[in-house]
Amino acid sequence: MEIVRKSRKLAPSSEAPKPNRTRIRIKKDLRKNWFVYLLAIPVVAWFLVFCYGPMWGVLIAFKDYKPLLGFAQSDWVGLKHFIDFFQGPYFWRVTKNTLLLNVWGIVFGFTAPIILALLLNEIRDGKFKKTVQTITYMPHFISLVVVCGIIHIFTADEGIVTQVLQWITGKDYTSLLGYSGFFRPIYTFSGIWQNIGWDSIIYLAAMSSIDPALYEAAEIDGIGRVKKMWYITLPQITPIIVILFIFAVGGLMASGYEKIILLYNPLIYDTADVIASYVYRRGLREASLSFSTAVGLFSAVINFALLWVTNRIARRTSEVSLW
């Protein structure tokens, strides 16, 4: 009995604390990949300082911000700036213009790189293919200011685009950027010209990973090139298309203000004035910092909602989503 009691005393207790496996695994990973984490520190610091740090500034949208008083001493006004924007004379105009301009971009600008990538993928002459790729890539590297200058020259009174349009329609036009109805086509198709080659790269990369055996089997069955594009190539790159489409819909309420500001003028505000340009005028020109912040916050919230809804629909219909 004494021997049994001693053995029980010497036996380890079943209630002893177990080692934290997660902590051990993290330590091992840090020792093994310490250099990778060291390289990631500047990137993480940049995002924290320049992306997440300034987010507290959205509180300006709920204050009557005065630079001389500072952030803390400015009066709290709640939803006043949001109500002023919703009830203002420009709410429907800038919202409609932003949506329509981005819908044009999705309908024409989103599909154009896919079509170009499909066509390039079918080219067998390597030299010709590289030449086409180089020509379509080049506009992407041209400065936006230069691109807008080219647009102004081509759409001027004696510009080539204006002359061609006059020849087709038989009507006399002055500068096309002075007509409201021409702004969206000019903005959209100049963007396609500038980015179609660059945006097609990701689709060409996805096509390069398609198993060649699929095309070989299709050729044995006597399927032509068009059907191979429709039944093999497009289904194989559908996940990439869905992901990029989610991002595109998530930016429906956002437009690059730089190009719009360089192209528009008061004569075409009824179609060219968008939320970004309106924020620029109210925030920088009129120094309405709180009001412009409220408008920008409204746009960001709508974009996030669109992104979330589109991602949820994509996950249910195609099982491809961001999260």
Write out pLDDT tens, residues 76-112: 888 999 999 999 899 999 999 999 999 999 999 999 9
- Residue 2 covered by a domain: no
Amino acid type, 9: K
| Same-domain pairing of 303 and 172 | yes
The Cα–Cα gap between 92 and 90 comes to 6
Question: Tokens representing 168?
Answer: 């087709």
| Same-domain pairing of 244 and 285 | yes
Mean local confidence (pLDDT), 290-298? 90
| Same-domain pairing of 135 and 268 | yes
Which of these three, 55, 76, 97, is where a domain ends?
Answer: 76
| Same-domain pairing of 36 and 185 | no
The Cα–Cα gap between 246 and 277 comes to 24
Return the bridge partners of 76, or none.
Answer: 63
The Cα–Cα gap between 169 and 179 comes to 15
| Same-domain pairing of 66 and 124 | no
Of 100, 66, 86, 110, the closest CA to residue 247 belongs to 110
- Residue 3 covered by a domain: no
Per-position b or e across 182-220, b if 16+ CB within 10 A of its CB: bbbebbbbbbbbbbbbebbebbbebbeeeeeeeeeebee
The answer to whether 178 and 268 have CB atoms below 8 angstroms apart is yes
The Cα–Cα gap between 116 and 101 comes to 22
| Same-domain pairing of 209 and 300 | yes
Q: Above pLDDT 70, what percent of the chain?
A: 94
- Residue 5 covered by a domain: no
| Same-domain pairing of 200 and 300 | yes
Domain count, the chain: 2
Query: What pLDDT was estimated at residue 4?
Result: 45
pLDDT at 173 over 80: yes
Mean local confidence (pLDDT), 162-168? 91
The Cα–Cα gap between 18 and 31 comes to 22
Strands in 3-91 per DSSP E: 63-64, 75-76
- Residue 302 covered by a domain: yes
The band of 283, judged by pLDDT with boundaries at 50, 70 and 90, is: confident
The band of 2, judged by pLDDT with boundaries at 50, 70 and 90, is: very low
